[in-house]
Amino acid sequence: MQIGMIGLGRMGGNMAERLRRGGHEVVGYDANPEVSDVASLKALVEALAAPRVVWVMVPAGEPTRLTLEELGQLMSAGDIVIDGGNSHYVDDRVHAEQLGGKGVGFVDVGVSGGVWGLQNGYALMAGGETEHIQRLMPIFETLKPEGPDGFVHAGDVGAGHFAKMVHNGIEYGMMQAFAEGYELLRASDAVKDVPGIFSSWRTGTVIRSWLLDLMVNALNEDNDLSGIRGVAQDSGEGRWTVQAAVDHAVPLPVITAALFARFASRQDDSPAMKVVAALRNQFGGHAITSAAGEVGKGADSPGADVAPPPEAR
């Protein structure tokens, strides 16, 4: 099958290569001319035989919007555009309506697999009309892992990215649990082999997983993770997951806490914790640490002698 691939970075480039190895003809375009097969989006569309299929793998937000807008001007009725980036699911319906006005189909696909996808295959979550999904199945079958799993037609337009968003939210929670367990093990005087403990969990335990395997790999490379600063960014999908939970009145305490933990990791001196420390000092006389790093005596705090209101006694 012939397909155009826009965005040939770590994910898009490997996906294009996996498709080529599977016997498909891929015409690739990227802002980097060194990896592009054509010089422009117009040239990419012209290189494909109608009805065309174009897969977009560019950053979510404005880059995706501008790419789809230009494709809408270049493509024809009967063509299909796939958005395989990490777009917000609410944008998918807008894009589908815009392209649909020209008779161009739109399918959103959440893609998971990272840098290992070329070798192991990609988990694919697709949203869109059944007619479009069925036409694209040769592409999906090549990209997904071998076996019955790894692909799902999740539902209507937007369902693919919604499923990927929830997947990433679950990932946040799982990683946070591993991280907290690691910190607690490190804090114990009795524990002498933290990497060995994680490695021992890879077989026979209920928490064995690919994430656990990756954790062991990281500890093998850096035994105490001393070469890594304790700051974790977020891609945005964690925020969208929490917002969707609010919109649907679904409680997500674990995922929400994991997202907020990432925010906290970026603060060398957390403003929120300053408030907590000050209040604990005021009502309980607990010691505080000054900005200079000096530990003050809690009993000397001005508010320690202030009596609590009757309802708090």
Active site residues: 164, 171
Q: Residue 142: what are its φ and ψ, rounded to 5°? A: -75, -40
Would you tell me how many other CB atoms lie within 10 Å of the CB of residue 223? 12
- Angle at which helix 10-21 crosses helix 130-143, to 10 degrees, equals 90
Query: What is each CA distance from 110 to 82, 89, 115, 161, 271, in whole angstroms?
Result: 10, 10, 15, 5, 36
Note whether 143 and 122 are within 8 A (CB).
yes
The DSSP H or E segment spanning 107 is: strand 105-112
Strand order in the sheet with 53-56: 25-29, 2-6, 53-56, 80-83, 105-112, 123-127, 151-155
SS3 196: helix
First to last CA, the chain: 75
Q: Which residues contact 88 (CB under 8 A, 6 or more apart)?
A: 60, 61, 161, 165, 236, 240
- Using an 8 Å Cβ cutoff, are 72 and 24 in contact? no
